[in-house]
């Protein structure tokens, strides 16, 4: 699909077909949002999204509901390894994610929901108070790429920032201080 078409058709989608995503489709979405393009050193790399100072302070967690060959549960993307780490299996995790977002029920019906956390220390040593601004800007780039990449596999996406901070941090198992939830986006195949 030409980029111009993906941009023109982009919209927030909150209703999803019951069909699962394949692992290959999820892999393509992960690559579009955080994939490594070039490794610079043991600590730094260039990715498919820009980041202030190439600090890349964001981490990706997947709440999996309906993905071929993946059991429902919580996973973490390891971009340098091109792998998913299974954190825990939980058949109710989609419902719990919706509850952690003030009951936005459509989140429970997604095939997979991308959760992004920030590790502020990666930015703060360099940008001081401006770190929080550039972390938020970075998150916008990531979610926009998810919207556009979703188009190419017939999937709809909806950005979500209305969430309970503590509930989402607990869902992901992050401490809310050194690492905290910043943004999320449910994804699912579009209904015909």
Residue ranges in contact with ligand FMN by CB under 6 A: 11-12, 14, 104, 158-162
Least distance from C-beta 43 to ligand FMN, angstroms? 29
Listed residue (156, 185, 182, 174) closest to 19, CA to CA: 156
Least distance from C-beta 95 to ligand FMN, angstroms? 17
Provide CB contacts within 8 A for 41, sequence distance 6+.
Answer: none
Q: How many residues does the chain have?
A: 192
Least distance from C-beta 125 to ligand FMN, angstroms? 26
In sign, the C-alpha dihedral spanning 83, 150, 146, 50 is: positive
Distance CA 116, CA 80 (A): 17
Least distance from C-beta 148 to ligand FMN, angstroms? 12
Nearer residue to ligand FMN within complex by CB, 26 or 146? 146
Nearer residue to ligand FMN within complex by CB, 11 or 121? 11
Is 45 in contact with 38 (CB distance < 8 Å)? yes
Nearer residue to ligand FMN within complex by CB, 84 or 158? 158
Least distance from C-beta 76 to ligand FMN, angstroms? 22
Whole-angstrom distance between the N-terminal and C-terminal Cα of the chain?
18
Nearer residue to ligand FMN within complex by CB, 137 or 161? 161
Distance CA 82, CA 31 (A): 8
Nearer residue to ligand FMN within complex by CB, 84 or 148? 148
């Amino acid at each position: 699909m030409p980029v111009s078409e993906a941009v023109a058709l982009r919209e927030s989608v909150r209703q999803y077909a019951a069909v699962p995503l394949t692992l290959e489709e999820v892999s393509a979405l992960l690559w579009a949002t955080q994939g490594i393009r070039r490794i610079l050193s043991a600590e730094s790399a260039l990715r498919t999204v820009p980041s202030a100072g190439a600090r890349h302070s964001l981490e990706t967690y997947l709440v999996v509901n309906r993905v071929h060959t993946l059991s429902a549960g919580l996973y973490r993307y390891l971009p340098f390894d091109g792998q998913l780490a299974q954190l825990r299996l939980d058949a109710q995790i989609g419902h719990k994610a919706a509850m952690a977002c003030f009951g936005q029920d459509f989140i429970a019906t997604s095939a997979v929901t991308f959760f992004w956390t920030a590790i502020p220390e990666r930015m703060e040593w360099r940008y001081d108070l401006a770190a929080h601004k550039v972390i938020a800007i970075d998150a916008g780039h990531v979610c926009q790429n998810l919207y556009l990449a979703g188009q190419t596999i017939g999937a709809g996406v909806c950005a979500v920032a209305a969430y309970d901070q503590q509930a989402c941090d607990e869902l992901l198992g992050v401490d809310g201080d050194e690492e905290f939830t910043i943004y999320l986006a449910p994804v699912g195949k579009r209904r015909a």
